[in-house]
Amino acid sequence: MSAGLLQRGETGFHQDNDLAALILSFNDVTERLKQSHETLGSEVRRLREQLEEKDRELERGRRLAALGEMAAGVAHEIRNPLGGIGLYASLLAKDLRGDGEKHVTAERILAGVKNLEAIVGDILMFAGGAEPRCGRAAASKIAEEAVALSAPQARMKRVRFECGASLQGVELDCDERQISRALLNLVLNALDAVGAGGAVWIDAAMDRASEGLVGIAVEDDGPGIPPEQLDRIFNPFFTTKDTGTGLGLGIVHRIAEAHGGRITAVNRPGGGARFTLYVPQWQGTPK
């Protein structure tokens, strides 16, 4: 073979190799662009869903704030005369002590007044009258107290409680009294939902969308929340129970909001409901 033919053959071979390498590089770049596009699309969808959820929470917060202002005004108007009624009922009960049926009637009036005072207190709590006094608090301690306070109801229904180990070591920056009340409301709500022999779980929960917050989740194996009620369950005075004021979950929402946190409610894939109370995490120096 002449030197000229060999040179042309080598040149063609190199050109083929260069073309193949260029095609491989192009395919690799195309595949990476496709993956980047899919990842970007997925992230955009996630952010859009987050934004829609935040918009719903903001609108719900505005509605609850307006209702809270109205409810607080009504509660203050009721509280003053109710205090007088309670005082006179108490004096009457003392005067009628030992007078049989009359004393029983006076005691019933006094019990009714105390019940109304409790309702007024719940309305004022929902209205957000008390600013949280935040400090360092252990999530496990708050959960254990909620379990202890609700133990009588749990025993009556033979409900099994489980507190997750992930709560250990979790520290909150919160008003411990208010968060304890909020969590107790969630636990009692779960106990109402489950049947005899059911189960309630309390555990820590994390969420990428909740930076600086830590969640305490309360789950149950009850029937779950009807889809048409999911957007209404935190509204004040909304209840599906035969008794109660419907303020329990509304108070939880207001407490979470006052702490700069939030409360979510979803149905569990395996059945039942899951409420998650997000509270600021303690950012100080660990013990």
What mean pLDDT comes out for the span 235-258? 74
Note the pTM of the prediction, 2 decimals: 0.61
Q: Average model confidence (pLDDT) for the chain?
A: 79
Above pLDDT 70, what percent of the chain? 74
| Residue 174 vs residue 73, higher pLDDT | 174
Tell the residue number behind the tokens 């719940």, with chain if given: 122
CATH code of the domain occupying 135-280:
3.30.565.10
Query: So what's the pLDDT on residue 4?
Result: 52
Residue 31 has pLDDT above 70, yes or no: yes
| Residue 38 vs residue 189, higher pLDDT | 189
Are the C-beta atoms of residues 117 and 82 closer than 8 Å to each other?
yes
Query: 272 in the Ramachandran plot: left (φ > 0), alpha (ψ -120 to 50) or beta?
Result: left
Are the C-beta atoms of residues 222 and 26 closer than 8 Å to each other?
no
Residue 174 has pLDDT above 90, yes or no: yes
What mean pLDDT comes out for the span 228-232? 78
Residue 287 has pLDDT above 50, yes or no: no
Residue 278 has pLDDT above 50, yes or no: yes
What mean pLDDT comes out for the span 152-177? 89
Residue 46 has pLDDT above 80, yes or no: no
Residue 257 has pLDDT above 80, yes or no: yes
Residue 190 has pLDDT above 80, yes or no: yes
